[in-house]
């Protein structure tokens, strides 16, 4: 069955780096993604701009408010990924084939103690850590790796 007719879900993501140039990743609670990590990201609400959505998702998933972040740059263009065939029709109530992601890079101005994975109910991550940027694609769920490689390439000069 072809899902080419389905649209992409609009999404915003945030690549958060600390003073040492390490990238924040959280391990998703979702059992289908167990063992994989991702940067904060999520859907864009109706009428919401991409920057506001990215900062909202960052705060919801990590407890890190905008006052603890210096936004450095937006990605130059949205990045697309398709869901694997076994997930199309199951994720997002079958409405989308994948995501159109709008990424932002920011520097974390706070301390690790400011990170609170339970800031939003329900929590989306059960663990978090800082990783070397070069290792980011290795810990990401395989169908999102190309997007993460593109995000790294785009923001590498700022990290």
What is the full DSSP assignment across the chain? ---TTSPEEEEEEEEEE-TTS-EEEEEE--GGGTT-EE-SEEEPPTT--HHHHHHHHHHHHH---GGGEEEEEE-SS-EEEEPPTTTTTTGGGG--SEEEEEEEEEEE-S-GGG--TTSSSS-SEEEEEEE-GGGHHHHB-GGGHHHHHHHHHHHGGG-
Percent of the chain with pLDDT over 90: 82
Residue 142 lies in a domain: yes
Residue 118 lies in a domain: yes
pLDDT tens, position by position, 32-47: 666 789 999 999 999 9
| Residue 61 confidence (pLDDT) above 60 | yes
106 vs 90 pLDDT, higher one: 106
Here the CATH number for the domain that contains residue 22 is 3.90.79.10
Q: Residue 144 sits in which domain range?
A: 8-158
Residue 104 lies in a domain: yes
| Residue 50 confidence (pLDDT) above 90 | yes
Residue 1 lies in a domain: no
| Residue 93 confidence (pLDDT) above 90 | no
Rounded average pLDDT over 62-76: 98
What's the structural domain count of the chain?
1
- pTM, rounded to two decimals: 0.93
Residue 24 lies in a domain: yes
Residue 72 lies in a domain: yes
Question: What pLDDT was estimated at residue 3?
Answer: 75
Rounded average pLDDT over 124-149: 94
Residue 2 lies in a domain: no
Question: What pLDDT was estimated at residue 2?
Answer: 63
Residue 111 lies in a domain: yes
């Amino acid at each position: 069955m072809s899902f080419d007719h389905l649209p992409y879900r609009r999404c915003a993501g945030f690549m958060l780096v600390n003073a040492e140039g390490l990238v924040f990743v959280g391990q998703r609670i979702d059992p289908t993604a167990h063992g994989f990590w991702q940067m904060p990201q999520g859907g864009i609400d109706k009428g919401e701009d991409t920057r506001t959505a990215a900062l909202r998702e960052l705060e919801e998933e990590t407890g890190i408010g905008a006052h603890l972040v210096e936004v450095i740059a937006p990605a130059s263009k949205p990045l697309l990924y398709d869901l694997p065939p076994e997930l199309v029709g199951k994720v997002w109530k079958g409405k989308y084939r994948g995501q159109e992601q709008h990424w932002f890079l920011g520097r974390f101005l706070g301390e690790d103690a400011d990170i609170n994975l339970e800031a939003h109910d329900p929590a989306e991550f059960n663990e978090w850590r800082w990783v070397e940027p070069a290792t980011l694609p290795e810990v990401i769920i395989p169908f999102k790796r190309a997007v993460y490689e593109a995000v790294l390439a785009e923001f590498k000069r700022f990290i």
